[in-house]
Amino acid sequence: MKTTYARLRRTLGQLAYEKRYGVRTAELIELDKLGIAGEGRGYYVAASWRTLRRTLSRKEITPRDVFVDFGSGMGRMVLEAARFPFGRVVGVELSEDLHKIAEANVRRTRQRLLCRDIELLHGDVLTYQIPDDVSVAFFNNPFQGLVFATVIERLVASLDRNPRRLKIIYYNPVEERTVLDTGRATLARELVHARRRTAGTPFGLTKVFELR
């Protein structure tokens, strides 16, 4: 009963937030309906609104920091990141439909956001040139396998070109081993958002890695 009540409270809270700001992000959509289904891709569902507030401190973010959401969907985490003092916030999304919704969401809320330099890109992450100043990379399990491994490899390559502090915030981290196998990552934090009552196993897990 407590678990059901907590889930209902979170859902109502998220819907109230969306109504207040006039945005649309709270949907679960199978990728075949978006025309982008493929190996290593599952479905679209946004991470919790509270994810960044639970994993980042405003004190550690400066205008020199850059946030990139790989698989940004309808832009929920882009909007959340823009409430921090990032110098730039970027979202990369393969689905044109989700990308257009994200653009509309940003237009409706831009004046309320702390970071005004927001860039939404429609395209494949494999053709995206990862900027050498990205300091926070966000993944909501948008893809797995070779695609995920390639993006992580390119993040490490960007570190080699420009040594700096780099965090990976990984919501639903099914490819955690790929991150750790780089030999450059350490687990900094782990957050469990809910638990299944029957098995007691994590459900809704976020892991934060530091790359060097």
Mean pLDDT over 115-123 rounds to: 96
Q: Which residue has the tokens 């990728």?
A: 31
**Pick from 91-95, 124-128, 157-161, 193-197: least confident:** 193-197
Pairing of the two strands 166-171 and 202-211: antiparallel
Share the mean pLDDT of the chain: 84
Retrieve residue 179's tokens.
Answer: 């991150």
Our measurement of the distance from residue 91's CA atom to the centroid of its chain's CA atoms, rounded to an integer in Å, reads: 9
Q: b/e per residue, 113-122, with b = 16+ CB within 10 A?
A: bebeebebeb
Task: Please report, rounded to a whole number, the percentage of residues in the chain having pLDDT higher than 90.
Answer: 66
Question: Comparing 117-121, 157-161, 185-189, 195-199, which segment has the lowest mean pLDDT?
Answer: 195-199
Q: Would you kindly state where each structural domain of the chain is located, as residue ranges?
A: 2-211
Per the structure block, which two tokens stand in for 32?
A: 């075949």
The arithmetic mean of pLDDT across residues 180-203, rounded, is 73
SS3 of residue 129 by DSSP: coil
Give the per-residue pLDDT at 48: 83
Decide if domain 2-211 falls under CATH 3.30.70.2740: no
Q: What residue type is assigned to position 210 of the chain?
A: E
Q: Decide: 113 and 79 in contact? Cβ < 8 Å.
A: yes
pLDDT reading at 175 higher than 50: yes
**Cα–Cα distance, 18 to 54 (Å, whole number):** 19
